[in-house]
Structure 1
Amino acid sequence: MSAEERNVFGEPIERCSYDPLTGFFRNGHCWAGDQGAARHLVCIEATAEFLAFSKSRGNDLSTPRPEFAFPGLNPGDRWCIVAERWREAFEAGKAPRVYLKSTHEYMLDLVPFAELKRFALDLS
């Protein structure tokens, strides 16, 4: 893992969230890691609708899990989610908004940039 990981613009990936502390590596970034194996690549702003959708798919992100140092998410929290889960939510019409500067470039292998851009929170 390094600061060399790139976002969808080809720039160094920016922090997603330190509070709550996110990322597969719990470093605040949606990094893939040295082998590109981590899939928590999309920095989102959680919504009640998305949290309910994720829970219905077997991934409860809203319930605290202190044994894993996971506080549980609330609407408005920023969080790195699995790329395939975002695409699944997108296809179901439940996709949350994204921070493109904090979303890993590997996401472009799953979703065209034009589609991601429609959900962007950080474009001027």
Structure 2
Amino acid sequence: MMAKNILGGPLVLCSTDPMTGWQRDGCCNTDSNDHGLHTVCAEVTAEFLAFSQSAGNDLSTPRPEFGFPGLQPGDRWCLCAGRWEEARRAGFAPEVVLEACHEKTLEVTLLGHLQAHAVQP
């Protein structure tokens, strides 16, 4: 079954450089083992990375033992929906690629919030 995005269409690729996704397939797919709900395709910013680090999740430091290169501003990454919503409320939400955000994201945040932070074409 094809995964759907928050707009009701097919879920599209988020990033392969760096390779992202709960399943490390480049898409923000999810399954029953993904307790963090890594479903928001975000284009990270320096402000968001600093916010995330201050909240206990350092996404900037490479962790080669986990195959994680560390993120730089401008990278696209499948974020936990709850962390994105937390960042939004704090004023640090990065922009998102709507077509690459899994529909399960809508269990955590509103479509309008995501649309307000959409990457502009």
State the TM-score, normalized to the length of structure 2.
Answer: 0.94
Deviations 1:70-103 (A, max 9, x none): 1000000000010000000011111000000000
* Matched residue, 2:64: 66
Give the aligned CA root-mean-square deviation in angstroms: 1.2
State the TM-score, normalized to the length of structure 1.
Answer: 0.92
Structure 2 unaligned residues grouped into runs of 5+: none
Question: Is 1:90 aligned with 2:102?
Answer: no
Aligned length: 119
- Quote how far apart the aligned CAs of 1:106 are: 1.0
Letter in 2 for 1:84: G
SS in structure 2 at match of 1:41? strand
- Quote how far apart the aligned CAs of 1:114 are: 1.1
SS in structure 2 at match of 1:89? helix
Q: What pairs with 1:24-43 in structure 2 (closer than 5 Å)?
A: 24-33=22-31, 35=32, 37-38=33-34, 39-43=37-41
Q: Calculate percent identity across the aligned residue pairs.
A: 52
- Quote how far apart the aligned CAs of 1:32 are: 1.1
Letter in 2 for 1:45: E
- Quote how far apart the aligned CAs of 1:111 are: 1.3
SS in structure 2 at match of 1:61? coil
Structure 1 unaligned residues grouped into runs of 5+: none
Question: Is 1:116 aligned with 2:110?
Answer: no
Q: Which runs of 4+ in 1 moved over 2 A?
A: none
Letter in 2 for 1:23: G
- Quote how far apart the aligned CAs of 1:30 are: 0.3
SS in structure 2 at match of 1:44? strand
- For 1:18, which of 8, 16, 19 is the aligned residue? 16
SS in structure 1 at match of 2:77? strand
CA distance in 2, matches of 1:114, 1:57: 25
